[in-house]
Structure 1
């Protein structure tokens, strides 16, 4: 999502099911580094049963498929693309702070892009389950697809430390609707207001960012 000049950088994850954009599942986080100083690795594992988001090999979010989600869980062939666009109407303090074009041009650099899975033709809407079975099995048996207790502990630490918005607690937008893929934790709920924003945003992130510490160096340590 970018940042306000001199402030911490933000990142957002979201899940849309089968082309529907009427009910997003946004989460936003502060990141303990400045992404303009050095490259970082961003990964998404999408399987028929769950989706995991990673930053520098540290899992930051897991979405588990359930019958209650219905068509909200992505199940159609997808493509990958990158773009830069002005989202300041909502990304920075709900539009209070607009983008400053005097800092243009804005540039993103990508390298070492890797796509693994079952390839689908550009006009092919439904792929053969039999043909994709081997690719899916390979994905789900890979090391990055297995959330060990150590990885889950690292994910929990990241989420507790850096999450600043969760759709799970956004009563203004969704009322009292409960989502089957939300892990409602009473201690976590008390930290979020009716708009889904963290009422107690982390204060130590900027100090960590100045030291250019990656999440893997901070969060992926065994619990004592």
Structure 2
């Protein structure tokens, strides 16, 4: 009996340790240079907190951006972000994954600025083999200009899930067996601040007000939970040895499913699956 108790304790300790590593890894603060580099607009970039926070700026001469040094296949990616305040119509703050091919894969978080006093729109999108037009837009339950929030993308062989803090807001399932395209190309992590006033606010009707420039976006949380791609291991990234590929992440847990449905019911403002003008017949990945 004593031996059984010891074995039981050790097994539970191992599970607890694994869970601790998994859940706390997103909270570890890494220095920007560990995993990222500035990719454009370097004269519009500044650092603070000993390299643990980056500020991107945009004016009428340039925006700015950064990207991961490695490319990844599968992972649980995140950045903590605080987006520009005041009158930010036309301003786009983006965090996304993208491959480097003509027929690219891409997973997007895009904050679309608005006139002062009106809500920001958070747009998500999924591109597969260059095919996009899968927009879903949300008005969030908080003001994203006031503080940092954690934006996460889970990408594994079973599903893609967009999270805001710990709440899942969008799911894109792997339905290849039903003929639905699913992202498979290695992707870089990218963040940027840029002028999108030809489309971002009210379809481009509201333009950027440059009297409020420069606009600032702030980023933290530069640790990466992803499988870096090397020539020798392209298929290794789909292994269950990576915690984000385990059975636990095949579907949402029951509590997550409740949060997901609550977000969809209260905060989803546009869903391409329900846009019959654009898609008289819903795309195959949409609920029929």
Using the size of structure 2 for normalisation, the TM-score is 0.56
| Structure 1 pair 33–143 and aligned structure 2 pair: CA distance change class (3 A) | farther
Given candidates 166, 180, 200, the residue that maps to 2:284 is: 180
Contact 2:161–2:171, Cα closer than 8 Å, also in 1? yes
Query: Which residue of the partner structure matches residue 254 of structure 2?
Result: 149
CA distance in 2, matches of 1:41, 1:89: 28
Query: Which residue of the partner structure matches residue 30 of structure 1?
Result: 139
Tell me, what secondary structure is at the counterpart of 1:62? strand
Contact 2:154–2:160, Cα closer than 8 Å, also in 1? yes
| Structure 1 pair 84–94 and aligned structure 2 pair: CA distance change class (3 A) | same
Contact 1:118–1:135, Cα closer than 8 Å, also in 2? no
Query: Which residue of the partner structure matches residue 120 of structure 1?
Result: 229
Deviation at 1:116?
1.7
Deviation at 1:46?
0.5
Contact 1:11–1:30, Cα closer than 8 Å, also in 2? yes
Query: Which residue of the partner structure matches residue 11 of structure 1?
Result: 122
What are the superposed Cα offsets for residues 6-63 of structure 1, whole Å, 9 maximum, x if unpaired? 1111101110013x04x32110000121112110000000112210000011000111
CA distance in 1, matches of 2:158, 2:241: 10
Structure 2, unaligned stretches of length 5 or more?
1-111
Contact 2:159–2:250, Cα closer than 8 Å, also in 1? no
CA distance in 1, matches of 2:213, 2:250: 38
My pick for the range that moved more, 4-13 or 145-154, is 145-154
| Structure 1 pair 135–82 and aligned structure 2 pair: CA distance change class (3 A) | farther
| Structure 1 pair 146–154 and aligned structure 2 pair: CA distance change class (3 A) | same
Tell me, what secondary structure is at the counterpart of 2:273? strand
**Superposition map of 1:63-212 within 5 A:** 63-67=172-176, 68-70=178-180, 72-121=181-230, 127-129=233-235, 131-134=236-239, 137-141=242-246, 146-174=251-279, 176-184=280-288
Cα RMSD, aligned residues only: 2.2
CA distance in 2, matches of 1:3, 1:25: 22
| Structure 1 pair 100–150 and aligned structure 2 pair: CA distance change class (3 A) | same
What are the superposed Cα offsets for residues 142-200 of structure 1, whole Å, 9 maximum, x if unpaired? 867651111111111111111111111222223x222232235xxxxxxxxxxxxxxxx
CA distance in 2, matches of 1:96, 1:161: 26
Using the size of structure 1 for normalisation, the TM-score is 0.71
My pick for the range that moved more, 141-150 or 37-46, is 141-150
CA distance in 2, matches of 1:40, 1:113: 14
CA distance in 1, matches of 2:138, 2:263: 9
Tell me, what secondary structure is at the counterpart of 1:102? helix
| Structure 1 pair 79–29 and aligned structure 2 pair: CA distance change class (3 A) | same
| Structure 1 pair 136–64 and aligned structure 2 pair: CA distance change class (3 A) | farther
Aligned length: 176
Structure 1, unaligned stretches of length 5 or more?
185-224
**Superposition map of 1:39-50 within 5 A:** 39-50=148-159
What are the superposed Cα offsets for residues 108-148 of structure 1, whole Å, 9 maximum, x if unpaired? 11111232222114xx5x9531x324466421338676511
CA distance in 2, matches of 1:35, 1:135: 35
Tell me, what secondary structure is at the counterpart of 2:243? helix
